[in-house]
Amino acid sequence: MFIVGQALQKASLSFRHTQRTNTLVKMAGAKEDGYSRRIMQYMEGFMVSKTLFTACELGVFDYLNASECPLSAMEVAQGLGTSMDGMGRLLSACVGLELLTTQHSADGQVLYSNTEMSTMFLMKSSPQSLYHSVEYNSNTTYLCWHNLTDAVREGKNQYEKAFGVSSKDLFEALYRSDEEMVRFMQLMNSVWNICGKDVVTAFDLSPFKSIYDLGGCSGALAKQCVSVYPECTVTILDLPKVTETCRKHFLSAEDVRISICEGDFFKNALPDADLFILARILHDWTEKQCRLLLAKVYQSCKPGGGVLLVEALLSEDNSGPLTVQLYSLDMLVQTEGRERKGSEYTSLLTAVGFSTIHICRAGNIYSVILALKG
């Protein structure tokens, strides 16, 4: 009995052992499946981007929206002048991405229409439209990223290889044609329609009456400022070609408390102001250029005045957020700068004399840093 019992016990132990080993193997298998699935996802990420780019560029979302009723792939293909087969596959991939939704007609045809997501963010005319961001990413950013390996090897932006522009001046390369400049301005404009209000309300800016937005571009942030703070005036300072386009295409007669000043923030003296805004400026430039610009800002700042930095911040241990880690690579392929940590901006600010420094991580991707001149 005893022996049999032992044998049974042994057998059951070995059974349990086998079971456990199997479970471990299975778990390891599941984990490895997870790994390989993620690598595949990363690898194929560009297919998602390109599907989005192409659907926007062909005008799929605008065409579906202009139609009274859902449309078949054939109708969309005919309307936009594409192959029926290609359009069918593109629309189907958009359904997978939840950019489109389908229903069946009485005669069994598949009919497509926009989802809430594409209606809000991908139609050209929507107030929160990201259409121009998509367009810029498709026509410019994607081509620079094509040379990411070279950018990492050389440590510099890729305009020369991607577009054949040899200018040493960053914004001469960026604005290599008027059309390209307008597209860049539209890109810059679009994000503040979505999260500009959070940026200007991160701190109470009501004590600051005269505000200069250095590199204020299309004026999107200036508009947010005057709408939240009824007593302030905002002056957009930017390069002459930009201010001209801003006046013509982005500002209207209603924007009475916004004025425009053309100039070069590196070469010209800065006007005096209560508050300087530098939104997505410092991330374009090297440490040395940042220190130079911030020193000028400090000089022109009235006592009690300050500077407001708006940037995407890396965490202090550099561990994230992934979006900002990727933006830093984006700055490598497209600018002379990088994304930085809060402490790196704080060091730059204290080095030129700013004292009280507050950081507000405003929920979304952009953080706001307010530094005061004591």
Other beta carbons within 10 angstroms of residue 336's beta carbon come to: 14
The option from ligand ASE, ligand SAM, none interacting with 264 (CB < 5 to 8 A, set by class) reads ligand SAM
Q: Which is nearer to ligand ASE, 274 or 330 (CB)?
A: 330
What Å distances lie between residue 39 and 44, 45, 329, CA to CA?
9, 10, 19
Among 58, 334, 338, 366, which residue interacts with ligand ASE (rule: CB under 6 A)?
A: 334
Q: Which residues pair with 93 in a beta bridge?
A: none
Give the whole-angstrom CA distance, residue 217 versus residue 213: 9
Minimum separation from the CB atom of position 101 to ligand SAM (A):
33
Among 55, 58, 211, 281, which residue interacts with ligand SAM (rule: CB under 6 A)?
A: 281
What DSSP character marks residue 269?
P
Confirm whether 283 is a catalytic residue.
Answer: yes
Residue 328 in the binding site for ligand ASE (CB under 6 A): no
Q: Is 26 exposed, middle or buried (0-12, 13-18, 19+ CB in 10 A)?
A: exposed
Q: Which residues pair with 367 in a beta bridge?
A: 311
Give the whole-angstrom CA distance, residue 281 versus residue 374: 23
Among 85, 98, 154, 264, which residue interacts with ligand SAM (rule: CB under 6 A)?
A: 264
Give the whole-angstrom CA distance, residue 367 versus residue 344: 14
The option from ligand ASE, ligand SAM, none interacting with 266 (CB < 5 to 8 A, set by class) reads ligand SAM
Give the whole-angstrom CA distance, residue 267 versus residue 265: 6
The option from ligand SAM, ligand ASE, none interacting with 330 (CB < 5 to 8 A, set by class) reads ligand ASE
Residue of 17, 132, 249, 283 marked active site: 283
Using CB under 6 A, which of the segments 26-34, 106-114, 209-217, 350-358 binds ligand SAM? 209-217
**Binding region for ligand SAM (CB under 6 A):** 171, 188, 215-217, 238-239, 242, 264-266, 279-281, 284
Catalytic center residues: 283
Positions that interact with ligand ASE (CB under 6 A): 141, 191, 280, 283-284, 327, 330, 334-335
